[in-house]
Amino acid sequence: MTQFNELGLAAPLLRALDDAGYTTPTPIQAQAIPTVLSGRDLLGIAQTGTGKTAAFALPILHRLNEKGGRPPRGGCRALVLSPTRELSSQIADSFKAYGAHLGLSVAVIFGGVPHGPQRRALSGGVDIIVATPGRLQDHLDAGTARLDRVEVLVLDEADQMLDKGFLPAIRRLVKALPTARQTLFFSATMPQEIGRLAAELLSNPARVEVAPVATTAERVAQRVIHLEQGRKRQILAELLRGQGVGRALVFSRTKHGADRVVKQLEADGLAANAIHGNKSQGQRERALAEFKDGIAPILVATDIAARGIDVDGVTHVVQYDLPEVPETYVHRIGRTARAGASGEAVTLVAQDDLEKLFAVEKLIRQVIPAEDQREDKTRSLAKPGLVARPARGGQGRGHGGGGRGAPGGGNRGGQGAPRGNGQGAPRQGQGHGQGGRPQGQPKPAQPGGEGTRRRPAAAAGAEAPRRDRDNFRNGDFRDSAPAFLTRGR
């Protein structure tokens, strides 16, 4: 097994790692560090919580220490762009911890705080800047920052920066960078837009991929609870009072929703704080500190925290609201089961959330175990509009009552005749289906008939009833052609 002392890192870095109790690199660290030390550009794909920060921070610190020199006034030697304030602060803290014996300077640049201290830090030059794109662009426009001496550029969590609309700002910042630089690009997922951005920024990169795109953490036990929307508060309080719940992250879709959940939890006697974009930086830092210290062990967050919170000991992640973007589900539940620990992810699903749940299951290619705690179980939990696939082995191609090999015609065929009529003869002067129609008469209008993409609902007693939800969802992932990719969706 590879050890950090086998990767060619400088002795002061190894001493800092030893102080922190780290001896064995994670897979992405073991693969990425030698590549970055060699000077190549890197495209790294790994799910959240796999140790990406050390994978780029350690070789950057090694490079700056070996090369020596001072940063330019107003500028930096290494630039790391990240999507959120919390993540930027944590990356900067990692650089400071790993470089504790090197004497290199680190500064954080993000919004929500006064410009003055950031301008003063920039004026003297900084070895490493960790920044969100918007605030760094403000300093660039104001002439208080320069990027023409950057030797290494890192884009961390690139796909989340795309989700937050930072792509134009990133492109403007890149224009201010020297073309002769090393670029490191990290992302948990690789949508087309991120692939195009990577192609623009990287030159003959090495590719490191340590987990399939959109793979959930292995040690996270996932489950779904079906319930009515109005009972989410009650079930959430019961979950958080349960045995084994330590620190818990609760995700809400909106800022106002997060504040409302906190008020409800406090009314139920549970200590909680909210963290979202409307909170000041001081409020966010206090909420995070109380979460870490256990003063308020429940943190209700919007997706600003989906990848920006790295706190050990998060035992549960509860999705009070499912996200609009399925990939966000993966990043949310990655807040637990970190550093080899185990954790539980619970998703509360009301009737209106079913489509989002199906999108998540399609993305992660697995059925999440579910329990039905609804008071009214009369409504179906099946995927809307799905009809069962016909049994194999028959003839004909009827549907809506005709079925394969079924007697009686539907739109197409009966008695097993291909595209024929009820007697198996060609469609000339014969009836269509069982009753037929004289030649020359117009075909009666049928909803969802030929020429449309809509299929009629199966008639009572037909051989193609809608599957119940469990059979459908368990069957989808066994077949080579899942039902959600068929026209019956």
Structure tokens, 73 = 């006034």
> 139: helix, coil or strand?
helix
Element (H, E) at 127: strand 126-131
Higher pLDDT: 48 or 293? It is: 293
CA angle at residue 222 from 217 to 224, to 5 degrees? 150
pLDDT at 281: 79
Asked if the model's pLDDT at residue 79 lies above 80, the reply is yes
Same domain, 195 and 233: no
Range of weakest confidence among 42-56, 190-204, 313-327, 381-395? 381-395
Helices (H) and strands (E) in the chain, counts: 15, 14
pLDDT at 305: 59
Tens of pLDDT, residues 419-473 = 444 444 444 444 444 444 445 455 444 444 434 444 444 444 444 444 444 444 4
pLDDT at 358: 94
Range of weakest confidence among 69-78, 213-222, 470-479? 470-479
> 77: helix, coil or strand?
strand
Higher pLDDT: 468 or 204? It is: 204
pLDDT at 452: 41
Same domain, 389 and 333: no
What mean pLDDT do residues 362-369 have? 90
pLDDT at 341: 65
Q: Is residue 486 part of a domain?
A: yes
Same domain, 202 and 239: no
Q: Is residue 245 part of a domain?
A: yes
Structure tokens, 451 = 């020429």
Phi first, then psi: give them for residue 206, nearest 5 degrees.
-80, 145
The answer for residues whose C-beta is within 8 angstroms of residue 74's C-beta and 6 or more apart is: 122, 123, 125, 144, 145, 146
CB 448 within 8 A of CB 401: no
Range of weakest confidence among 132-141, 244-253, 274-283? 274-283
pLDDT at 385: 54
DSSP secondary structure of 342-402: -EEEEEEE-GGGHHHHHHHHHHHTSPPPEEE--S---S--SPTT--PPPPTT--S---SS-
Same domain, 105 and 195: yes
pLDDT at 381: 87
User: In the listed set 160, 190, 209, which residue is the last one of a domain according to the structure?
Assistant: 209
Phi first, then psi: give them for residue 324, nearest 5 degrees.
-70, -35
Rounded CA separation 54/81 (Å): 15
Q: Tell me which residue has tokens 């960078």.
A: 177
Closest among 223, 181, 231, 187 to 203, alpha carbons compared: 181
CA distances from 225 to 219, 350, 352, 357, 415 (A): 19, 9, 13, 11, 45
Q: Is residue 297 part of a domain?
A: yes
pLDDT at 446: 46
Same domain, 183 and 66: yes
Query: What CATH number corresponds to the domain at position 353?
Result: 3.40.50.300
> 255: helix, coil or strand?
helix
Asked if the model's pLDDT at residue 393 lies above 90, the reply is no
Q: Is residue 414 part of a domain?
A: no
Same domain, 197 and 280: no
Q: Which amino acid is at 94?
A: S
Asked if the model's pLDDT at residue 366 lies above 80, the reply is yes
Asked if the model's pLDDT at residue 97 lies above 70, the reply is yes
Same domain, 137 and 166: yes
What mean pLDDT do residues 372-390 have? 73
Q: Is residue 309 part of a domain?
A: yes
Same domain, 348 and 391: no
Asked if the model's pLDDT at residue 487 lies above 90, the reply is no
Tens of pLDDT, residues 349-358 = 999 999 999 9
CB 309 within 8 A of CB 285: no
Asked if the model's pLDDT at residue 390 lies above 50, the reply is no
Rounded CA separation 236/348 (Å): 8
User: In the listed set 144, 178, 209, which residue is the last one of a domain according to the structure?
Assistant: 209
Same domain, 335 and 360: yes
Same domain, 43 and 80: yes
Instruction: Note down the domain range covering 402.
Output: 385-407+452-489
Asked if the model's pLDDT at residue 30 lies above 90, the reply is yes
Rounded CA separation 446/269 (Å): 59
pLDDT at 479: 37
Same domain, 327 and 364: yes
Same domain, 181 and 232: no
Asked if the model's pLDDT at residue 160 lies above 90, the reply is no
Quick one: what percent of the chain has pLDDT higher than 70? Answer: 74
Asked if the model's pLDDT at residue 230 lies above 70, the reply is yes
Ramachandran category for residue 323: left, alpha or beta (phi over 0 → left; psi -120 to 50 → alpha):
beta
Q: Is residue 139 part of a domain?
A: yes
Q: Total structural domains in the chain? A: 3
CA dihedral (210, 77, 18, 34) positive or negative: positive
Q: Is residue 201 part of a domain?
A: yes
Radius of gyration of the chain (CA): 29
Quick one: what percent of the chain has pLDDT higher than 90? Answer: 51
pLDDT at 262: 95
pLDDT at 417: 39
The reply to whether the predicted model has a pTM over 0.75 is: no
Phi first, then psi: give them for residue 448, nearest 5 degrees.
70, 20
Structure tokens, 244 = 């084994």
**For 7, how many CA atoms within 13 A lie in the half-sphere containing its CB?**
30
What mean pLDDT do residues 388-395 have? 39
Q: Is residue 412 part of a domain?
A: no
Give buried/exposed letters for 258-279 (b at 16+ CB in 10 A, else e).
bbbbbebbeeeebebbbbbeeb
User: In the listed set 209, 229, 246, which residue is the last one of a domain according to the structure?
Assistant: 209
Structure tokens, 83 = 């999507």
What mean pLDDT do residues 153-182 have? 90
Q: Which amino acid is at 450?
A: E
The answer for residues whose C-beta is within 8 angstroms of residue 208's C-beta and 6 or more apart is: 28, 31, 32, 35, 42, 43, 44, 45, 46
Rounded CA separation 435/449 (Å): 16
Strand-pair partners of 290: none
Rounded CA separation 157/51 (Å): 12
Tens of pLDDT, residues 251-294 = 999 999 999 999 999 999 999 999 987 888 788 889 988 998 99
Tens of pLDDT, residues 337-346 = 665 567 899 9
What mean pLDDT do residues 385-408 have? 40
